[in-house]
Amino acid sequence: MTSQRKPVVIVTGASKGIGLAVTRILLESLGSIVVAISRTRTPEIVQLLKTHASTFFSIECSVTDTTGLTQAIESVQKAHKHIDGLILNAGVMEPLGRIDSADVDSWKSHFDVNFFSLLTALKTCLPALRKSEFGGKIVFVSSGAAVGGTAAWGAYNASKAAMNSLCRTLAQEEPDVVSIALRPGMVDTGMQETLRSTGAAHMKEQDHARFTEAYSSGKLVKPEDSGHVIAALAVKADKSLSGQFVSWDSEQCADYRRT
């Protein structure tokens, strides 16, 4: 028998970009209860709190604060009695630069955000996800960088590759939870703006030109497009996708794209 309650979905890094788009879609198109976890409460989040007062909740917390993130997730379980979906979207690109001049502490800080925070969230959410009558879902917001090797992106390439590996392993360990790593494409977000404005100082000329050309020619993906796939996977992903790294515009995700 299908549950009549709304699925409860946690979204990290929900205050802007892909995370904000995903949050809106979950609320407005997929009938979910959404708990946003982000470092700041942006005007967009404040507006969503007003328009979706009974189904949207916001917790201000850095994902690198292990105690704070654990307590935030535990509070979701206590308040809503369920956690059905987890979207691990929070992430950073910095530092940019060659490996031969890498600042090790900066790389460690990067991994605190892009990788170790995932472990905190997973350890805290998994007991509830295993029990979800919808079938627990986890979407890791990954990147083509996970399988690429763009110069000057060493930390980002490595952390996204580690994310994908974590997703694959989790799928083997947790057969009752669907775990998917998704490549959202070259999305029109603040991260792209940063690459265009500061990337030239670190990246190969041809690599930087690829991003500036994608922007100027209107080829960047809208956050709402790949965001719809992420949101839909978080509530209705098929078990056959578990452990896979898929692109938002792939055939495997055709049923989850907006029409």
Q: What is the pLDDT along the chain (259 residues), one digit of tens a residue?
A: 456 899 999 999 999 999 999 999 999 999 999 999 999 999 999 999 999 999 999 999 999 999 999 999 999 999 999 999 999 999 999 999 999 999 999 999 999 999 999 999 999 999 999 999 999 999 999 999 999 989 999 999 999 999 999 999 999 999 999 999 999 999 988 888 888 988 888 989 998 998 899 899 999 999 999 999 999 999 999 999 999 999 999 999 999 999 8
d(CA 118, CA 55): 24
Q: Identify the CATH class of 8-185+222-248.
A: alpha beta
Cα-Cα-Cα-Cα torsion 34, 40, 42, 44, nearest 10 degrees, comes to -20
Is residue 142 annotated as a catalytic residue, yes or no?
yes
Is residue 81 annotated as a catalytic residue, yes or no?
no
Q: Which of 32, 117, 142, 226 is catalytic?
A: 142
Predicted structure pTM score: 0.96
Instruction: Say whether the peptide bond before residue 127 is cis (omega within 30 degrees of 0).
Output: no
Is residue 160 annotated as a catalytic residue, yes or no?
yes
Q: Which of 160, 179, 242, 256 is catalytic?
A: 160
List the Cα angle 168/173/174 in 5-degree steps. Answer: 95
Domain ranges in the chain are: 8-185+222-248
Q: Which of 6, 156, 159, 242 is catalytic?
A: 156
Nearest to 90 by CA among 63, 125, 109, 121: 63
